[in-house]
Structure 1
Amino acid sequence: MSYSPPSWYPPGQAPPSGRRSRRDRGLIALAVGLALLVAAVAGAGWYGYGADRARPAAAPRTSAPASASPALPTTGPSRAPGTRELAAARRPGEAAAWIADDSTDLPRRDLRVHEPWIVGDTVVQALHREVTAYRLSDGAEVWNLTLPTPVCEAPANPTPEGRIVVVLATGEAQRGARCDRFQLIDLLSGRTGWMKELLRDPARDTPALLVDTAISGDTLAVAEGVTAAVYRVSDGRLLHRVPAENPGRCHPHKVAGGSRLLVVAVCALGVDRRATYSQLRELDPRTGAVRWRHRTPAGRQVERMVSVDPVVYTSMDNDRRAQDWRIVALGPRGELRRTIDPRAKGFEHCSGVGLDTGLQPCPGILVAHGLVHVGGTDRVGAYDLATGKLAWGVQNHDGRVLTPVGSPSPAGTVVHESATAGRPGRTFLLGRAGANREKVLMRHPAAAAGAEYSALMGRVLYVGGRILLTPPTVSGDDARRQPRVVSFAPAAD
């Protein structure tokens, strides 16, 4: 397989137009009043009201490394090639690969894939009622946990000790179930801890429809509709509630975690959406004390959190949405440092994967070494956070998605180039001097091209020199099954 190297375009030269359009599957714009706000974010795959009772969570199962997969069938349900099949089909110079598939019976609809999380030497993923850990080295299933009901929300990152709190629906139905049951899971062992209905309030009839969660240290922040609270991960105890501010006009709406706890509030809701704006607060996770506040201009909102340290987020116009987006960098006290408009170079918001209800993650945008790296269809580049100017950029012309996935040093950026329906992708290191400094790290195997392509628009992680791909959704239709995880690593030979 031969590849055409991307061509350099300098900061003063705009790239050609004609990039591929994508379906925007997420949030409707902020609507009139609080009721319409809740209704708008309700359309992003969450569960509604219901009254099914929970069953005790099952203990995880552990598995030995997978055995050789049978030959591909000529009829019947589709399947991904097994790890041994990929090894046998690998050509000289191609990367080693494994594919994690699962024969679990799923509802016949598209199901959201939650994260993955990297914990120790495993990658962990939640899908429907299953949470599964796969060994990074070969994709073997390490443990699997079956939950009583589907997962409808999960934080982007676990605690430093490898614990996560997922939000479960109250029933199996796609409609008519609340999202208010919280389950602690140890991602190292696959064992469950406490389970609580944290959002159940006997004094109100409003169900928990929209839940956004984030973990910072040993604290879990939960935003539901236009309220938010912080709990202790270890035991689920309420630590503090996040108040509305200004006065009562800024209602907490989304949360982001990691080394900082950030809360986004939606402010000045009313008939005129041009007056609505977002407020961003950093809180002390344990006490709730506000460390700083930042607000967007009227008519714009915080959309996705790119980084919490330094704080870098994307903003959008309330009406034009992804057609009018920016990258905003803040200083250590929440002061505005830089606003960057990547649209002139043809970059897409979060690599064009669409909008969602949560703040994290923002696929396709990476902050490292004072640069914000931006990817998208046919192009990848980096802007200097100190100046806001384009430091470098490259593009190709074959419709592939270029995703910055790591920056091991200020001199280079690791980029994943997506597969097409018939051609595999690759991973390369791009120096700041452009295409002439390109170094191929992995040529992905042709035998895995179909599986790699099926993960397009999902998550791309670069872990210890290994690429991990997970699709955004998995179909429950056996005739078009997708692999859960696709992984590539430099071959030993």
Structure 2
Amino acid sequence: MTEPPSPPTPPNQPAVPPGYGHLPGPPPPSAYGFPPQGDNPYAQPQPGQQPGQPPQPGQPPSAAQGPYGQQPQPGYGYPQPPTAPLGMPPAGPTPPRGRTQLLVTASVVVTLVLGTGAYFAFAGGDGDGKKPAAAGSSAPVTQPSGSPSVDKGDGKGGNGMSDADLNSGRKPGEGKVLWMKTNATELPGGGGDATGQWVVGDTVVKSLFKSLIGYGVTDGKQKWKLDFPAKVCSTPYQTTTDGKVVVAFMNGESEQASCNQLKMVDLKTGAGGWTKEIPKEGMFDIMVTPSLAITGDTVTASRVGAASAFKVSTGDRLFGSNVPEGCSPGSYAAGQGKVVAVATCADGIEELQGTDPVSGQKSWTYRFPQGWKVSKVYSVNPLVVDVKERDKSLRSIMVIGPDGKQRSQLSGEGQFTPRCDDPIVDRPLQDCWGIVVDAGSDTIVLPTEGVSNELVAFDMGTGKAKWRTPAGDKRVLVPLKAEGGKLYAYNSAADKATGGEVVSVPLGGGKPTTVLHNPSGPAAPLENSFYTPQIAFADGRLFMSSTHITGEGKDEKFLMVFGK
């Protein structure tokens, strides 16, 4: 077998790109060291394709495909948010910023500072989410459904206030607080993490310290609670089509305990399934907190130096780190029916590999030029990756086709800030939100940086901007999901006395329409004071929950739900 040609030599980089770290227009095809669009000498032919022939056209996305192009699924779930604000401190000078390439700040700060002074980190996209209305459908998404539940909880509201108290100051046309929960779990010093959130049918599920808790979406009454022997330490943002999830928990409570225990849970009923220890994949398998991702009946568990895949339904191991000779194991990214692997080879070149989610077999390989690496994966199908140059802090967002060939690089003016758990560290791959990738319209939507920002939609085929929508004065607009031919986004309040809102924008472009305006009055300061919350908009309801509970106050807010 002949050796592949050497990757193209990157041209000299500009000392400082014009316009404060971004380019005013599209770069030339190889301006940042990448092959021209569509040219990947390392791409492997697909089955049935002869070498040298063009790839077979991929399956066109269905109009009913959800955001990120995934097959419709019932659960809304989100990546693990950080336990500290991502951005500037409340006072003091603005942090220094590195040079950027095209769209993303140079891996330093990911800032979302609301006009109210609160710090938000928004969960974006649907994961492998609930089945949306078909593109162009008039099916309403603001008429909620769901059934009442049997209350098994404490029945408390928020900050000693009833739901009526919370809604006492709302104005005509505003929505209301449907219900609010405060923490009733006894926590150790330092509190407990509450990273997982999923909306599955008529149940919203939150993880908290050593348990998962399911609440009825209509009334907030506790439906079930599943306790673990030690704290839950890692959660995926996707669920299976039938509402199941796999979470990781510690193998003990000592300081030497590892996050290596997996458990399957039915989120609709709270029933616990199989439990399994993640096996070591080799001597370089450092069992730090694994990053979990689900697609179909496969869950991947990636850590430093190794990755494994298991069958969600049974817990059986499907495959481990499967990399070419001379390459070191990397991480898996999974979702929307696909898995991709990232591996670093002995020559220092990083590879991105299309991977079968059942067998682990590789279907194509994309080798990056020397010095470039994958930083984050924003979507697996369509495949959208954030790549960076190791030494010069240059970055770009690339769209790669199903044949492993580059489709485009995004280009346009602005500093764009997807929200990531850890903007400094490149792993885990799938810890970012605040970016929506919609296969049906071939569109990526990103927020620009800072207060009074914009949403910008890009064409995935050309990489060029299609439309822009402003947030408004002293507000921050962050995309949440695409559904029914529309983009849904959360627009923060301009001050502490008013509530935020959910707006929709046609994916083809147009003026934003307010879908839900959260109430003024006593509820507004509570909404605006959430610390790095998770946010989901599902079935006409806005879910906002804490990702870390301090345990210092008896009425510490935990989960707040808004609707009409």
**TM-aligned CA deviation for residue 164 of structure 1:** 1.5
Change (3 A) 1:109 1:12: same
Do residues 102 (structure 1) and 173 (structure 2) align? Answer: no
Change (3 A) 1:291 1:439: same
Partner of 2:363: 291
Do residues 209 (structure 1) and 209 (structure 2) align? Answer: no
Provide, for residues 335-368 of structure 1, a one-character-per-residue CA deviation record: whole Å limited to 9, x for no partner.
11111146x3132133797456422242110012
User: What pairs with 1:182-261 in structure 2 (closer than 5 Å)?
Assistant: 182-199=262-279, 208-245=287-324, 247-261=325-339
Aligned partners of 1:277 and 1:296 also within 8 Å: yes
Partner of 2:405: 335
Aligned partners of 1:127 and 1:151 also within 8 Å: yes
Partner of 1:120: 201
Partner of 1:53: none
User: Which amino acid counterpart does residue 178 of structure 1 have in structure 2?
Assistant: S
Aligned partners of 1:69 and 1:84 also within 8 Å: no
Partner of 1:476: 550
Of stretches 228-237 and 424-433 in structure 1, the one that deviates more from structure 2 is 424-433
Aligned partners of 1:353 and 1:363 also within 8 Å: no
Partner of 2:418: 349
**TM-aligned CA deviation for residue 179 of structure 1:** 1.2
User: Which amino acid counterpart does residue 305 of structure 1 have in structure 2?
Assistant: V
Do residues 451 (structure 1) and 501 (structure 2) align? Answer: no
User: Which amino acid counterpart does residue 95 of structure 1 have in structure 2?
Assistant: G
Q: How much identity, in percent, do the aligned residues show?
A: 26
Partner of 1:44: none
Aligned partners of 1:80 and 1:101 also within 8 Å: no
- Distance in 2 of aligned mates of 1:153 and 1:351: 15
- Distance in 2 of aligned mates of 1:232 and 1:162: 15
User: What pairs with 1:83-482 in structure 2 (closer than 5 Å)?
Assistant: 83-97=163-177, 98-109=179-190, 111-173=192-254, 175-199=255-279, 208-245=287-324, 247-268=325-346, 276-319=348-391, 324-341=394-411, 344-350=413-419, 354=423, 357-368=427-438, 369-376=441-448, 377=450, 378-396=453-471, 398-410=473-485, 412-419=486-493, 420-431=495-506, 437-446=511-520, 447-455=522-530, 457-471=532-546, 473-479=547-553, 482=556
2:528 is paired with a residue whose SS is helix
2:256 is paired with a residue whose SS is coil
List gaps (5 residues or longer) in structure 2.
1-22, 26-85, 95-148
**TM-aligned CA deviation for residue 303 of structure 1:** 2.6
How large is the RMSD of aligned CA atoms in angstroms? 3.3
- Distance in 1 of aligned mates of 2:209 and 2:505: 37
Aligned pairs, number: 415
User: Which amino acid counterpart does residue 251 of structure 2 have in structure 1?
Assistant: T
Aligned partners of 2:399 and 2:408 also within 8 Å: yes
User: Which amino acid counterpart does residue 403 of structure 2 have in structure 1?
Assistant: R
The answer to which structure has the higher strand fraction is: 1
**TM-aligned CA deviation for residue 416 of structure 1:** 0.9
**TM-aligned CA deviation for residue 456 of structure 1:** 5.5
1:484 is paired with a residue whose SS is strand
Change (3 A) 1:280 1:138: farther
**TM-aligned CA deviation for residue 215 of structure 1:** 1.8
List gaps (5 residues or longer) in structure 1.
1-10, 14-19, 25-61, 73-78, 269-274
2:165 is paired with a residue whose SS is helix
Of stretches 287-296 and 473-482 in structure 1, the one that deviates more from structure 2 is 473-482
- Distance in 2 of aligned mates of 1:302 and 1:106: 37
Aligned partners of 1:380 and 1:395 also within 8 Å: yes
Do residues 488 (structure 1) and 562 (structure 2) align? Answer: yes
Aligned partners of 2:155 and 2:221 also within 8 Å: no
**TM-aligned CA deviation for residue 147 of structure 1:** 0.9
**TM-aligned CA deviation for residue 401 of structure 1:** 2.3
User: Which amino acid counterpart does residue 400 of structure 2 have in structure 1?
Assistant: L
Change (3 A) 1:298 1:451: farther
Change (3 A) 1:200 1:242: closer
Higher relative contact order (CA 8 A, sep 6+): 2
- Distance in 2 of aligned mates of 1:124 and 1:394: 32
1:208 is paired with a residue whose SS is strand
**TM-aligned CA deviation for residue 191 of structure 1:** 1.5
Change (3 A) 1:80 1:161: farther
Change (3 A) 1:205 1:243: closer
Of stretches 346-355 and 224-233 in structure 1, the one that deviates more from structure 2 is 346-355
User: Which amino acid counterpart does residue 281 of structure 1 have in structure 2?
Assistant: Q
The answer to which structure has the higher helix fraction is: 1
